């Protein structure tokens, strides 16, 4: 469903250019759980943002469900983000003045669906185990709970692809376990998961581990294979 070819991303910084992604080609199929690992500053977030249509590549092609995304305009990209992707960020990014359920409805506001937004939000919050925190403000929730609200927000429009950028990076290990449990479940439901992580335990849940170095993919293998190599 995702197919990128010769992807390149160059940032203009003052006079100089920063070539973050040099030449990235890869295919991700429906229902895959992929983790992306690399040292800091290697361009993981940049790549994920391009996959999620938040950013555009400097050159190269990106085909999503047989549609050339790299040719789309801003409004079309917004529509795709709303329909096909759910984002989960390291620092949750909840709106502080909105309750949990109101935060979860945010994607619904920008979609045409006209169902009962609150009922839908509560239903998704229950699915991530927060049925009893519906009316809480973010500051009244623990980090793990906030991240689960963020996941509920990512799920409320029922997207087929979940993109997560270091989702457990700000959490203690117990909360991280909870998030991983939810990811496992989502994977079981047949959704496609692409997770940027430094956390080996998260990576071990995935089917496939991609490593990046100097703007290129340095390694792309099934998790089982990566595991045996580590074991050797």
Partner 1 sequence: MRAARMARQALSAVSENKTRTLLMMLGVIIGVATLTIIASSVLGARGMVMEKVEKFGLDQIMIMAGAGRKPGVPQPIPTTLRVEDGQAIESEVPNIKDVSPQINRRDYLVKYGAKSSYGVLVAANPNWSAVWNTAAESGRFLSEEDRTRLARVAVIGKTVVRDLFEDEDPIGKQVLLGNNPFEVIGVLEPRGTSATGVDMDSRVIIPLSTGQKRVFNQEYLAMIKVALQDPSRMDQTVADVRALLRERHNLPQGLEDDFTIVTPTQVMSLASKVSTTFSLFLVLVSAISLIVGAVVIANIMFIAVNERKGEIGIRRAVGATKNDILSQFLFEAVTIALLGGVIGAALGIVGLKGLAFLMKAPMAAMWQPIALALLSAALVGLAAGIQPARAAANLNPIEALR
Which residues of this protein are in contact with partner 1, per CB under 8 A? 49, 52, 54-55, 74-75, 78-79, 81-83, 87, 89, 93, 95, 97-98, 106-112, 114, 117, 153, 157
Q: How far is the CB of 75 from ligand ATP (least distance, A)?
A: 22
Quick check: 45 binds Mg ion (CB under 5 A)? yes
42 binds, among Mg ion, partner 1, ligand ATP, none (CB under 5 to 8 A by kind): ligand ATP
Query: How many other CB atoms are there within 10 angstroms of residue 150's CB atom?
Result: 25
Q: How far apart are CA 146 and CA 96, in angstroms?
A: 11
Q: How far is the CB of 190 from ligand ATP (least distance, A)?
A: 28
- 3-class state of residue 22 by DSSP: strand
40 binds, among Mg ion, ligand ATP, partner 1, none (CB under 5 to 8 A by kind): ligand ATP
- The residue at minimum Cβ distance from ligand ATP is 45
Q: Which strands, in side-by-side order, build the sheet including 33-37?
A: 85-88, 161-165, 192-196, 33-37, 208-213, 216-222
CA nearest neighbour of 93 among 156, 138, 33? 138
Which residues 42-61 are close enough to bind ligand ATP by CB under 6 A? 42-46
Q: How far apart are CA 83 and CA 79, in angstroms?
A: 6
Q: How far is the CB of 204 from partner 1 (least distance, A)?
A: 28
72 binds, among partner 1, ligand ATP, Mg ion, none (CB under 5 to 8 A by kind): none
> Which strand (E) or helix (H) includes residue 125?
helix 117-127
Beta strands in 112-230 (DSSP E): 161-165, 192-196, 208-213, 216-222
Among 15, 16, 40, 73, binds ligand ATP (CB under 6 A): 40
Residues that bind ligand ATP (CB under 6 A): 11, 13, 18, 20, 38, 40-46
């Amino acid at each position: 469903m995702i197919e990128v070819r010769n992807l390149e991303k160059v940032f203009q910084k003052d006079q100089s250019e920063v070539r973050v992604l040099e030449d990235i080609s890869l295919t991700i199929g429906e229902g895959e759980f992929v983790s992306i690992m690399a040292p800091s500053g290697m361009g993981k977030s940049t790549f994920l943002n391009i996959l999620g249509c938040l950013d555009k590549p400097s050159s190269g092609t990106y085909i999503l469900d047989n549609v050339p995304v790299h040719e789309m305009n801003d409004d079309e990209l917004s529509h795709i983000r709303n329909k096909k992707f759910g984002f989960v960020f390291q620092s949750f990014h909840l709106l502080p003045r909105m309750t949990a359920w109101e935060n979860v409805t945010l994607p619904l506001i920008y979609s045409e669906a006209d169902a009962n937004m609150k009922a839908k939000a509560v239903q998704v919050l229950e699915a991530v185990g927060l049925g009893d925190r519906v009316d809480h403000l973010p500051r009244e929730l623990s980090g793990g709970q906030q991240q689960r609200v963020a996941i509920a927000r990512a799920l409320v429009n029922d997207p087929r692809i979940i993109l997560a950028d270091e989702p457990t990076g700000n959490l203690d290990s117990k909360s991280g376990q909870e998030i991983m449990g939810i990811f496992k479940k989502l994977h079981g439901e047949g959704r496609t998961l692409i997770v940027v992580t430094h956390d080996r335990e998260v990576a071990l849940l995935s089917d496939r581990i991609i490593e990046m170095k100097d703007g290129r993919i340095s390694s792309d293998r099934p998790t089982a294979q990566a595991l045996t190599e580590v074991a050797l």
